[in-house]
């Protein structure tokens, strides 16, 4: 079979390895230019017009970040996500939403493992699902973190679909908020009455997606009094995430002691409100994963007292007005604003009534200078990297941003 792997990032590499058999003739196709670390003797089509002439291929494997409209070849476009759902022998718990997907997925996996289940945590959290497929048995359980990009053209739904809160995000890639919501909604599109959907009852979009599903519906959040003391990770938003995780495993685990043990054994993901160190009474936290304004609000709510928040990065078209209003109501927060979107954030803060003395706009792209400026604004309290924006203006990705932050803080 003649196959084109469209896009050669993490998922594209996994796709190449999966379909690279003697029966297949594979070509890597990437509009960004010729990728690095290509397999020996790999065929490559690269450049801005790379996707314009793929009609000769029998199958086109779409990488998640590539908009389906760029591949107008009816009947030929597939994805590693679709292949995984088609071939996976085990039940799948799928998790989507704007924020909290990684933490909720990890909490689900932790609870299931506390119950001695064999669990495979895959997807947008970092492990390409297709690479894990050969290791999965029918009596295992898969927890799949699903982004809107993976759900764009999904052809099957997970047995348990978890729909966290949904709000504007990735509008630099999606054509509209409506398209973003439609992609998220695909997680329940093929569910039946034998399936389950867990939804955020406080979020109108999440609730509407659940309403359209034929599956059994479980709402969260609910009273977590019996479990909150077991949760190690900080923040009211993580209490909500834990509530979603407990609802998601209801079919598999209903023992309170096991659930508590599962919650307690998860101490957080990298770059999600992770404590770095205390420097003379100032505690530094890395929340580099925060790429939406709402995530920055959640991070700020995790602390009380004096806080300096580092905001900024690549402009994804997000609305900063709600974040600005939240900060305007809390005079214990100082904002250090940097990156490509700095002036738009500063404007939103000013419009919301944040006093000028509570905002510092940094024109430099020197991250050390940005961090030491933040440190200079506080003598006791928290310095929080929770940018509310994507990282691509100054960093490779959120991991690079968080690692650089950690290294600089460790050197203070």
- Does the pLDDT of residue 37 top 80, yes or no? yes
> Domain for residue 177, yes or no?
yes
Residue among 388, 279, 268, 291 at smallest CA distance from 333: 388
Regarding whether 201 and 58 lie in a shared domain, the answer is no
pLDDT band at 377 (very low <50, low <70, confident <90, very high): very high
- Does the pLDDT of residue 280 top 90, yes or no? yes
Q: How many CB atoms lie within 10 A of CB 148?
A: 25
Q: How far apart are CA 232 and CA 242, in angstroms?
A: 11
> Domain for residue 54, yes or no?
yes
Regarding whether 244 and 95 lie in a shared domain, the answer is yes
Regarding whether 405 and 332 lie in a shared domain, the answer is yes
Regarding whether 217 and 92 lie in a shared domain, the answer is yes
Residue among 285, 14, 211, 231 at smallest CA distance from 104: 231
CATH code for the domain of 297:
3.90.190.20
Q: What per-residue confidence (pLDDT) applies to 50?
A: 95
Q: What percent of the chain has pLDDT over 70?
A: 99
Regarding whether 253 and 137 lie in a shared domain, the answer is yes
| Maximum pairwise Cα distance, the chain | 66
Q: What per-residue confidence (pLDDT) applies to 3?
A: 98
234-260 pLDDT per residue, tens: 888 999 999 999 999 999 999 999 999
pLDDT band at 136 (very low <50, low <70, confident <90, very high): very high
Q: What per-residue confidence (pLDDT) applies to 270?
A: 87
Regarding whether 227 and 89 lie in a shared domain, the answer is yes
> Domain for residue 134, yes or no?
yes
Regarding whether 403 and 338 lie in a shared domain, the answer is yes
Q: How far apart are CA 177 and CA 56, in angstroms?
A: 34
Regarding whether 247 and 102 lie in a shared domain, the answer is yes
Tokens 């990065």 label which residue?
313
158-217 pLDDT per residue, tens: 999 999 999 877 666 777 889 999 999 999 999 999 999 999 999 999 999 999 999 999
Mean pLDDT of 3-27: 95
Of the residues 48, 74, 100, which one is the last residue of a structural domain?
Answer: 74
CATH code for the domain of 45:
3.40.50.720
Regarding whether 302 and 247 lie in a shared domain, the answer is no
Q: What percent of the chain has pLDDT over 90?
A: 87
CATH code for the domain of 86:
3.40.1190.10
* Residues spanned by the domain of 6: 2-74
> Domain for residue 8, yes or no?
yes
pLDDT band at 330 (very low <50, low <70, confident <90, very high): very high
pLDDT band at 126 (very low <50, low <70, confident <90, very high): low
> Domain for residue 269, yes or no?
no
- Does the pLDDT of residue 68 top 80, yes or no? yes
Regarding whether 226 and 118 lie in a shared domain, the answer is yes
Q: Is 180 exposed, middle or buried (0-12, 13-18, 19+ CB in 10 A)?
A: buried
3-state SS, residue 220: strand
Of the residues 233, 264, 295, which one is the last residue of a structural domain?
Answer: 264
> Domain for residue 301, yes or no?
yes
In the chain, the number of structural domains is 3
Regarding whether 86 and 66 lie in a shared domain, the answer is no
- Does the pLDDT of residue 336 top 90, yes or no? yes
pLDDT band at 146 (very low <50, low <70, confident <90, very high): very high
338-372 pLDDT per residue, tens: 999 999 999 999 999 999 999 999 999 999 999 99
> Domain for residue 43, yes or no?
yes
> Domain for residue 297, yes or no?
yes
Q: What per-residue confidence (pLDDT) applies to 167?
A: 86
* Contact between 136 and 88 (Cβ < 8 Å): yes
Of the residues 219, 236, 264, which one is the last residue of a structural domain?
Answer: 264
Regarding whether 30 and 14 lie in a shared domain, the answer is yes
């Amino acid at each position: 079979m003649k196959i084109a792997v469209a896009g050669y990032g993490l998922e594209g590499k996994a796709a190449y390895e999966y379909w690279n058999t003697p029966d297949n003739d594979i070509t890597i196709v990437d509009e960004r230019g010729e990728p690095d670390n290509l397999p020996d003797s790999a065929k490559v089509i690269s450049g801005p017009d790379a996707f314009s002439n793929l009609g000769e291929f029998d199958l086109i494997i779409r990488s998640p970040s590539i908009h389906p409209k760029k591949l107008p070849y009816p009947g030929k476009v597939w994805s590693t996500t679709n292949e995984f759902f088609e071939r996976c022998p085990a039940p799948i718990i799928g998790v989507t939403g704007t924020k909290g997907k990684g933490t909720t997925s990890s909490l689900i996996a932790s609870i299931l493992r506390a119950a001695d289940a064999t669990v495979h945590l895959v997807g947008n959290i970092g492990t390409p699902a297709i690479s894990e497929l050969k290791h999965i048995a029918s009596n295992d359980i898969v927890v799949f973190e699903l982004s809107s990009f993976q759900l764009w053209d999904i052809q099957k739904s997970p047995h348990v679909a978890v729909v966290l809160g949904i709000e504007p995000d990735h509008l630099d890639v999606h054509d509209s908020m409506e398209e973003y919501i439609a992609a998220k909604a695909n997680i329940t599109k093929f569910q039946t009455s034998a399936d389950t959907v867990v939804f955020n009852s406080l979020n109108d979009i999440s609730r509407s997606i659940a309403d359209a599903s034929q599956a059994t519906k479980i709402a969260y959040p609910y009273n977590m009094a019996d479990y909150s003391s077991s949760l190690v990770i900080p923040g009211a938003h993580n209490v909500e995430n834990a509530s979603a995780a407990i609802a998601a495993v209801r079919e598999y685990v209903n023992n309170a002691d096991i659930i508590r043990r599962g919650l307690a054994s998860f101490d957080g993901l990298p770059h999600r409100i992770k404590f770095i160190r205390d420097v003379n009474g100032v505690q530094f936290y890395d929340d580099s994963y925060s790429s939406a304004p709402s995530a920055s609000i959640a991070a700020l709510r995790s602390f009380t007292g004096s806080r300096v928040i580092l905001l900024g990065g690549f402009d994804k078209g997000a609305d900063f007005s709600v974040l600005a209003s939240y900060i305007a109501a809390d005079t214990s927060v100082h904002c250090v604003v940097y990156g490509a979107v700095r002036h738009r954030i500063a404007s939103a803060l000013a419009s919301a009534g944040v006093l000028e003395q509570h905002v510092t706009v940094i024109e430099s792209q020197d991250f050390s200078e940005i961090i030491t400026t933040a440190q200079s604004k506080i003598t006791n309290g928290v310095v929080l990297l929770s940018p509310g924006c994507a990282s691509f203006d100054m960093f490779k990705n959120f991991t690079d941003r968080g690692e650089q932050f950690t290294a600089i803080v460790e050197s203070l």
